[in-house]
Structure 1
Amino acid sequence: MVCQLTEEQPQRGGSIDGRSYKPRNRAMTHANLMSNYFNPNSVNPYFQQKRDRTGRPSFSPHQKVTVALRMMAYGSPADSIDETHGMSESTCLDTLQEFCDTIVQLYKDEYLRKLNQKDLNRLFRKAEDRRFPGMIGSLDCMHWDWKNCPTGWQ
């Protein structure tokens, strides 16, 4: 698929003068993504396309991932997915569970672990640089003035 700009589409800023440019091999990363997750031998067997009992192809990996992301991003209930994606409520829930379990398995060692002192020091430095002190342990943002805070939350 080729993306073409039309007059209706607003032009984005693109690269900004003064910022460093980091070359990205988008074609290679796309190929890796497709190879690892959307091929017949994907990382998670649940997301491999199989055949159902009648011999028809089951839902594709693309359909399963899209449904899981849609349910998480928009809070779509599983029973509403049938109308737009033709997937039953139970299959949607199974897909969401498998997707979440897969993400946890893939990233738990790097991202889903307890902070160590090095991590905390890095976060404290970032918070200070951004003038957002006291953010660690303050998920309710009590130390942050929000001028447009909705009245009901004040």
Structure 2
Amino acid sequence: MRCHVFERLLRDVQQVNPYFRQKQDKAGRHGFSPHQKVTVALRMMAYGSPTNSMDEIHSMSESTCLHTLVQLCDTIVQVYKNKYLHEPSQEDLNQLLHKAENCGFPSIYGH
């Protein structure tokens, strides 16, 4: 994932969900950073990484990994559903067709 895309995603989820903001416990120790939480969840989605491997790499428990994944998925849907989760308009289809033709796929929608 390109850095600017990651940073935009991180910023967007932090604005909506306080789970992705840096917190301290009662002893004043910082918990997992927003970057760590988003990275773990994205790795689990992208590579199908099991939670126990995230524990080994990021020192994050299995339950925290799963909770982080659920939080990120729910937040992504909440933030982006109006823009990305809808029936494509004719303009959307035209843009996709144009991109496909430029990549050598002239009839991806049966045209």
Q: Does TM, scored on the shorter chain, surpass 0.5?
A: yes
| Structure label with greater radius of gyration | 1
Q: Which runs of 5+ in 1 are unaligned?
A: 1-28, 138-154
Give 1:85 deviation, angstroms: 0.8
Please point out which of 18, 38, 54 is paired with 1:65. Answer: 38
Counterpart residue type for residue 63 of structure 1: Q
Task: State the SS of the aligned residue for 1:108.
Answer: helix
Which is richer in helix?
A: 2
Q: Could you tell me whether the CA contact under 8 Å between 1:68 and 1:92 is conserved in 2?
A: yes
Q: Which runs of 5+ in 2 are unaligned?
A: none
Provide TM-score, normalisation by structure 1.
Answer: 0.55
CA distance in 2 between counterparts of 1:112 and 1:95 reads 22
Percent identity reads 60
Q: Give the paired residue count.
A: 103
Q: Could you tell me whether the CA contact under 8 Å between 1:49 and 1:57 is conserved in 2?
A: yes
Structure 1 equivalent of residue 52 of structure 2: 79
Q: 1:49 to 1:128 in 2, by over 3 A?
A: closer
Over the aligned positions, Cα root-mean-square deviation in angstroms equals 2.8
Matches within 5 A, 1:48-127: 48-52=21-25, 56-127=29-100
Provide TM-score, normalisation by structure 2.
Answer: 0.72
Counterpart residue type for residue 79 of structure 1: N
Q: Could you tell me whether the CA contact under 8 Å between 2:20 and 2:34 is conserved in 1?
A: yes
Q: 1:37 to 1:55 in 2, by over 3 A?
A: farther
CA distance in 2 between counterparts of 1:121 and 1:113 reads 16
